[in-house]
């Protein structure tokens, strides 16, 4: 029985064979890396989504949607998310 989703080998193959797929992957990569960092920090501190939402003054559903990648957060949301975990957001232009 196959698990849901796609394997890293399949992703690597698509990145090497499809330039449009690779461009979209590169465009979205920073977004998902930031989401992963926030999830990691929340889990490391053993904070639930509900606790994080309370600290931020938002709803748990917003945290859930953000962490699943289905919510396009504002800069203010990201700053509040980081602050709720005792962290800061930093950006750079390259």
Asked if the structure places residue 34 within a domain, the reply is yes
In 3D space, the residue among 29, 40, 28 whose CA is nearest the CA of residue 67 turns out to be 40
The predicted pLDDT at position 9 comes to 83
CA atoms within 13 A on the CB side of 64: 4
pLDDT in tens, 15-62: 788 888 888 888 888 888 999 999 999 999 999 999 999 999 999 999
The confidence score (pLDDT) of residue 77 equals 96
Q: What is the residue range of 53's domain?
A: 9-84
Task: Identify whether 2 is part of a domain.
Answer: no
**Is residue 58 situated within a structural domain?**
yes
Assign residue 49 the CATH number of its domain: 1.10.260.40
Whether residue 39 lies inside any domain: the answer is yes
Q: What is the pLDDT of residue 64?
A: 96
Q: What is the pTM of this model?
A: 0.78
Q: Confidence band (pLDDT; 50, 70, 90) for 4?
A: low
Total domains, the chain: 1
Q: Is the dihedral of CA 12, 93, 28, 21 positive or negative?
A: negative
Mean pLDDT of all residues in 85-91: 93
- Do the domain assignments include residue 91? no
Q: Residues 69, 35: contact at Cβ < 8 Å? A: yes
């Amino acid at each position: 029985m196959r698990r849901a989703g796609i394997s890293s080998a399949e992703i690597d193959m698509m990145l090497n064979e499809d330039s449009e797929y690779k461009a979209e992957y590169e465009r979205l990569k920073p977004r998902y890396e930031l989401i992963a960092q926030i999830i990691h920090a929340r889990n490391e501190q053993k904070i639930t989504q509900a606790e994080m939402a309370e600290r931020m003054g938002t709803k748990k559903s917003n945290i859930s949607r953000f962490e699943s990648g289905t919510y396009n957060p504002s800069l203010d949301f990201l700053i509040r998310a980081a602050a709720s975990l005792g962290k800061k957001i930093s950006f750079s232009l390259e």
